[in-house]
Amino acid sequence: MFKKILIANRGEIACRVIKTARRMGIATVAVYSDADRRALHVEMADEAVHIGPAPAAESYLVAEKIIEACRATGAEAVHPGYGFLSERASFCEELEKQGIVFIGPKPKAIRAMGDKIESKKFAAAAKVSTVPGYLGIIEDGDHAERIAAEIGYPVMIKASAGGGGKGMRIAWSKAEVREGFERARSEAKSSFGDDRVFIEKFVVEPRHIEIQVLGDAHGNAIYLGERECSIQRRNQKVAEEAPSPFLDEKTRAAMGEQAVALAKAVDYQSAGTVEFIVDKDRNFYFLEMNTRLQVEHPVTELVTGLDLVELMIRVAAGEKLPLRQPDVKLNGWAVESRLYAEDPYRNFLPSIGRLTRYRPPAEGRHGGATVRNDTGVTEGSEISMYYDPMLAKLCTWAPTRLEAIDAMSDALDGFVVGGIEHNIPFLSALMQHPRWREGRLSTGFIAEEYPEGFHPREPDEEEKAIVAAIAVAVELIRRDRLDRLPGRLAPHSGKLKSDWSVRIGDDYLPVELTSGSISVPLRIELAVAGGKPVTVASDWRPGEIVWRGTVSERKVTAQLYDILNGVRVAWRGLAVTARAMLPATAELDRLMPVKAPPDTSKLLLCPMPGLVVSVAVSEGQEIKAGETLAIVEAMKMENVLRAERDLTVSKINVRKGDSLAVDAVIMEFA
């Protein structure tokens, strides 16, 4: 077994590998760029080596710097994680020349399966079902248009060396092919150093289901069940689960056997994933093979009880797989939510900044469920524009699918993130979505269910009553605390105010305090909007963000954020502003004028921090709705900003290469 390994990666996957290596008694070496000097993975590792400037192309993607770090530290092996150099055969070969072990497959397998074009040719030759498409080199936009017309719309344009949704576009018409081709090629060049793309038929109502495989150097290969990864945005996975709610045993076995046959054909020696597109009739088509550890591997670990990183290390050290196919048993259900630094209310645009608060839910057993959080950040970490925006992977396990989903809801409700925008509100709403809970999924789920973008879910009457009860309970505790601060008048000794009014939106809900006293833990009875009295119990204290308690015996975990004269309650995908006040105050509040937001209709504002890639118009130019105005790059994704209506450009405030803050004025219109 190795005595020391180097992790050629950053963020949560570097931390994940360090945890397993530490448990196995293996010393670890981290590498870091200028932007990651104080990153969590640097602190966790036994040693750390600086490898260059912040851009990945000058640090994490430079194989020579990784190899030099191995020489300097005496690392015997390299775990590449995912992304960066994890699927670069030349890197693997150079390590072998230096006598350093690559913890992953051999170059032969990487070359055959790591390239999307070559892997499809290989799979077709091996008689694996593949999606119709054109696998040759596409010369230019005209060539792309001709190919798309021959295949038939819609088509998928993909970077050959791509992954993680980078360099990928769907085109529904001829007009979208050329721009999709150019954007996919540009993103592929900047992210992977390879601008080759290919085009294939886009399967309508597809499900993305993948098979986890394991192989060793002794000719053994097995599969560890499947993962459903159909909840995607911009072809990037958002939530995953294992097993799939769609597959039956027959289809699972057929997909697994095909995945193993493909792995054996290339002498696969490590953990890998064979991805399939599955249609509504359970016909499955080979999509690609990822010759690395997948981001979503924790859900497979939770349902199999195996440590995939440990198995990768042991295989790389020459050991045989410790189990055979009949030994693989799937137990219970696991769900993973990817927490991204992005604003769900602004079409999921990236958000950067410092984490002023970062408090994940406690890991371990919670009743009948298990919570796991794989992360690479901590409170105070800086989220930069140079890397992927994922903060953490929150996973829950339970005996059944709905129990795992409900456990995920509770965990998300208690996950505190501050300082940046994040997608927890969307993930929380997803867990309550009827279609998700029923398992009726497709890769178009987000686009179909949120065609106008994601907006806060409106509370129903029961939810309004729960929020109103929490708001009154919080207000009573706050007032009691103020009464008892030193230097104030003696606290009241009379009867508590029994009549309250809680403003939620334009509604004023009457709330009556029927019994109870102010103390912590709090236990009172309230009647909301003339309903039956309900018991509210909690040990919440002022200053705490997470409110945990019960409302009419229903367990509630909510996050509370102070606002002027009230509180914002974040719970189950809701973001509800509630103001508890006395009835006389409520009467005056009704008379207050509403402040109108400023008019920004004649401005193009930068929707997220990023770099200006290009400005497509000039001052004085008349443009039509839908035309491209500018392209801004953030976190390795190019975002096209288009005109929402016919306009005339009066002033342009930026140039190519400018670094912009959120809401910076890019241009003005007449």
pLDDT in tens, 340-353: 999 998 888 888 89
Residues 218 and 322 grouped into a single domain: yes
Task: State whether residue 235 is helix, strand or coil.
Answer: coil
DSSP state of 629: E
pLDDT at 473 over 90: yes
Per DSSP (E only), the strands in 420-517 are 499-504, 507-517
Task: State whether residue 176 is helix, strand or coil.
Answer: helix
Q: Give mean pLDDT, residues 561-568.
A: 93
Return the higher-pLDDT residue of 544 and 164. 544
Q: What DSSP assignment string belongs to 256-293?
A: HHHHHHHHHHTT--SEEEEEEEE-TT--EEEEEEE-S-
pLDDT at position 560 is: 97
Run of H or E residues at 363: none
Q: What CATH number has the domain bearing residue 660?
A: 2.40.50.100
pLDDT at 585 over 80: yes
Those residues with Cβ within 8 angstroms of residue 452's Cβ, 6 or more apart along the chain or in another chain: none
Q: Give mean pLDDT, residues 463-491.
A: 88
Among residues 540, 564, 589, the one where a domain terminates is 589
Q: Give mean pLDDT, residues 551-555.
A: 92
Those residues with Cβ within 8 angstroms of residue 250's Cβ, 6 or more apart along the chain or in another chain: none
pLDDT at position 446 is: 94
596 in a structural domain: no
Structure tokens at 423: 């997608």
- Tell me the pLDDT tens digit for each residue of 171-198: 999 889 988 998 888 888 877 788 888 8
pLDDT at 442 over 70: yes
Cα distances (angstroms) measured from residue 657 to each of 35, 383, 633: 19, 20, 10
Of all residues in the chain, what percent carry a pLDDT higher than 70? 99
Q: Give mean pLDDT, residues 11-29.
A: 98
Question: Rounded CA gap, 463 and 210, in Å?
Answer: 37
Average pLDDT, the chain: 92
Residues 504 and 563 grouped into a single domain: yes
Run of H or E residues at 11: helix 11-23
pLDDT at position 164 is: 63
8 in a structural domain: yes
Residues 414 and 301 grouped into a single domain: no
Q: Give mean pLDDT, residues 619-628.
A: 93
Q: How confident is the model at residue 553 (pLDDT cuts 50, 70, 90)?
A: confident
Question: Rounded CA gap, 28 and 115, in Å?
Answer: 30
Neighbours of 127 (CB within 10 A): 9
pLDDT at 629 over 80: yes
Q: Give mean pLDDT, residues 397-406.
A: 98
* 182, 220 contact by CB (below 8 A): no
Q: Catalytic residue numbers?
A: 288
Q: Which of 234, 232, 252 is nearest to 242 (CA)?
A: 252
- Tell me the pLDDT tens digit for each residue of 70-120: 999 999 999 999 999 999 999 999 999 999 999 999 999 999 887 777 787
Q: For residue 311, with 0-12 CB atoms within 10 Å meaning exposed, 13-18 middle and 19 or more buried, which class applies?
A: buried
pLDDT at position 263 is: 93
Per DSSP (E only), the strands in 154-220 are 155-163, 166-171, 197-201, 207-215
Residues 216 and 326 grouped into a single domain: yes
Structure tokens at 555: 């367990």
pLDDT at 224 over 90: yes
292 in a structural domain: yes
270 in a structural domain: yes
Residues 360 and 323 grouped into a single domain: no
Structure tokens at 509: 């809900």
Structure-derived torsion over alpha carbons of residues 114, 118, 119, 125, reported in degrees to the nearest 10 = -150
pLDDT at 636 over 80: no
Look up tokens 């950040």; give the residue: 377
One-letter amino acid for residue 347 of the chain = N
One-letter amino acid for residue 653 of the chain = N
What is the Cα 424 distance to its own chain's centre?
9
Those residues with Cβ within 8 angstroms of residue 434's Cβ, 6 or more apart along the chain or in another chain: none
* 131, 285 contact by CB (below 8 A): yes
Return the higher-pLDDT residue of 299 and 492. 299
Residues 536 and 580 grouped into a single domain: yes
Among residues 313, 331, 349, the one where a domain terminates is 331
End-to-end CA distance of the chain: 69
* 10, 376 contact by CB (below 8 A): yes
pLDDT at 476 over 70: yes
How far is it between the farthest Cα atoms of the chain?
86
Question: Rounded CA gap, 550 and 465, in Å?
Answer: 13
Neighbours of 557 (CB within 10 A): 18
**φ and ψ of 477, to 5 deg:** -65, -40
Per DSSP (E only), the strands in 42-181 are 47-52, 77-79, 101-102, 133-134, 155-163, 166-171
Residues 510 and 550 grouped into a single domain: yes
113 in a structural domain: no
pLDDT at 484 over 90: no
Question: Rounded CA gap, 475 and 500, in Å?
Answer: 10
Q: Give mean pLDDT, residues 44-50.
A: 98
- Tell me the pLDDT tens digit for each residue of 249-288: 999 999 999 999 999 989 999 999 999 999 888 989 998 8
pLDDT at position 120 is: 79
pLDDT at 494 over 70: no
Q: What CATH number has the domain bearing residue 562?
A: 3.30.700.30
Q: Give mean pLDDT, residues 293-314.
A: 98
Q: What CATH number has the domain bearing residue 351?
A: 3.30.470.20
pLDDT at position 480 is: 85
pLDDT at position 561 is: 94
Residues 180 and 217 grouped into a single domain: no
Q: At what angle do helices 107-114 and 116-125 cross, to 10 degrees?
A: 90
Residues 18 and 93 grouped into a single domain: yes
One-letter amino acid for residue 213 of the chain = V
Cα atoms in the Cβ-side hemisphere of radius 13 Å centred on 153: 13
Of all residues in the chain, what percent carry a pLDDT higher than 90? 74
Among residues 331, 352, 378, the one where a domain terminates is 331
Task: State whether residue 492 is helix, strand or coil.
Answer: coil
Q: Which of 586, 563, 568, 578 is nearest to 497 (CA)?
A: 586
Residues 217 and 302 grouped into a single domain: yes
Structure-derived torsion over alpha carbons of residues 222, 228, 232, 235, reported in degrees to the nearest 10 = 30
Return the higher-pLDDT residue of 270 and 141. 270
516 in a structural domain: yes
Neighbours of 487 (CB within 10 A): 4
Q: Give mean pLDDT, residues 26-41.
A: 97
Q: What CATH number has the domain bearing residue 95?
A: 3.40.50.20
124 in a structural domain: no
Which structural domain, as residue segments, surrounds residue 663? 603-669
Residues 375 and 358 grouped into a single domain: yes
pLDDT at 437 over 90: yes
116 in a structural domain: no
Cα distances (angstroms) measured from residue 69 to each of 7, 44, 53, 63: 10, 17, 15, 10
Q: For residue 19, with 0-12 CB atoms within 10 Å meaning exposed, 13-18 middle and 19 or more buried, which class applies?
A: middle
One-letter amino acid for residue 126 of the chain = A
Question: Rounded CA gap, 49 and 66, in Å?
Answer: 9
Our count of domains for the chain comes to 6
Q: Which of 97, 94, 60, 96 is nearest to 80 (CA)?
A: 60
Residues 570 and 637 grouped into a single domain: no
pLDDT at position 592 is: 92
